[in-house]
Amino acid sequence: MNTAIPQTQLPYTTKEQLLLDARSERSAYFAHIPWQYFSTHFITRPSSDTHGRELWRTYLDNVRSLHRDTLAYLWSEESRTAYGDLYQIPVHFHALWFSHRQLDTRMLATEWKTLAGNGSKPIAIEPYDSSGGALEYVLKLADRDDCHWELSNNLSLFFPESVDLSNAQGRRRYRRHLARASSVP
């Protein structure tokens, strides 16, 4: 538990401490996943925040259908209005990706460019480095009420202790996931 603000002797307020604790719990939870890629996605065509989010959801649907294997992801949306000496940052998305089968980065890039445009580097995909801070970067705004972030609905398959085995559908889904995971060369 952090007791003082770094570089000071000032203690955190109760609210600040709760936020710090929630951040470290989230980071610890998601750190167990062997993420493969970290990506940043910019929309190069004019769009509103809501349109950008719809575009992002369409992109995720396309990637899931094209990849054809269990796909785990964690994403967040980021933007900032200009104020003071800070400049405006248009809506963009950060994501972490994992699958037992190798993800096709060309497919990820092509699908995004098709939806969001080709101008001025619309997507950057890098291999995930657990010591590089990408996980914290994706979740950096998760404590804010205006932050939109989400994880894939099948992320529990990568955490066996949280898989719902109480019904036949859940058990079949988990067996398919295990079969895919063990068939990967």
Question: Is residue 24 situated within a structural domain?
Answer: yes
pLDDT band at residue 38, thresholds of 50, 70 and 90?
very high
Question: Is residue 85 situated within a structural domain?
Answer: yes
What is the secondary structure of 150-169 as a DSSP string? EE-TTGGGGSGGG---SSHH
Question: Is residue 130 situated within a structural domain?
Answer: yes
Question: Is residue 106 situated within a structural domain?
Answer: yes
Q: Which of 84-88, 98-102, 166-170 has the lowest mean pLDDT?
A: 84-88
Q: Are 119 and 77 in contact (CB under 8 A)?
A: no
- CATH of residue 70's domain is 3.40.1310
Mean pLDDT of the chain: 79
- Mean pLDDT score, 92-107: 91
pLDDT at 182 exceeding the cut of 80 = no
Question: Is residue 174 situated within a structural domain?
Answer: no
Rounded Cα distance between 44 and 118, Å, is 7
Question: Is residue 64 situated within a structural domain?
Answer: yes
Please, where are the H alpha helices in 32-100?
A: 49-67
Question: Domain tally for the chain?
Answer: 1
| The predicted structure's pLDDT at residue 110 | 94
The range of the structural domain enclosing residue 153 comes to 14-158
Question: Is residue 3 situated within a structural domain?
Answer: no
Question: Is residue 76 situated within a structural domain?
Answer: yes
pLDDT at 152 exceeding the cut of 90 = no
